[in-house]
Amino acid sequence: MLTRTAIYEGTVRDGREDEFFRRVRDELEPFWRRFPGVTAVRVQRLRSKDADARPIAMILEMDFPDQAALDACLASPIRPESHAATEAVMQMFDGRFYHLVSEGRTLPPAG
């Protein structure tokens, strides 16, 4: 499994947090769920962090079964639409977002 992670590093502008996350839910999540090949989408709103951690407002994770599925997602005509919608929502955000791709596995708890 591959996970494409978007890190939203920065802060939502004061007084806009509820609106920002409502727009993420209503405007962006539908795009993310429609990407071809995606098997799971996780949207994580940061609730707490270590004192010396970078300011992260949100983390988006999208799972794909393999590189071919991820490549199909990146080539999808949905992507430019999603990016344009993201740019509109980011007007309430001071910071940047960037992507990481990781390969992972899920482990059950010990004993």
Candidates 94, 15, 104; CA nearest to 56 is: 94
Q: Positive or negative CA dihedral for 83, 42, 95, 22?
A: positive
Q: How much is the pLDDT for 98?
A: 96
What mean pLDDT is predicted for residues 57-69? 96
Q: What is the pLDDT of residue 88?
A: 94
pLDDT tens-digit readout, 71-80: 999 999 999 9
Joined together, the tokens standing for residue 98 give 């960037």
CATH number of 2-103: 3.30.70.100
Domain ranges of the chain: 2-103
Compute CA distances 55 → 20, 42, 45, 52, whole Å: 16, 19, 12, 9
List, in sequence order, every beta strand (DSSP E) within 1-92: 2-12, 40-45, 56-64
- Of the chain, the percentage scoring pLDDT greater than 90 comes to 95
Average pLDDT over residues 73-92: 94
Its pTM stands at 0.90
Confidence of residue 64 (pLDDT cuts 50, 70, 90): very high
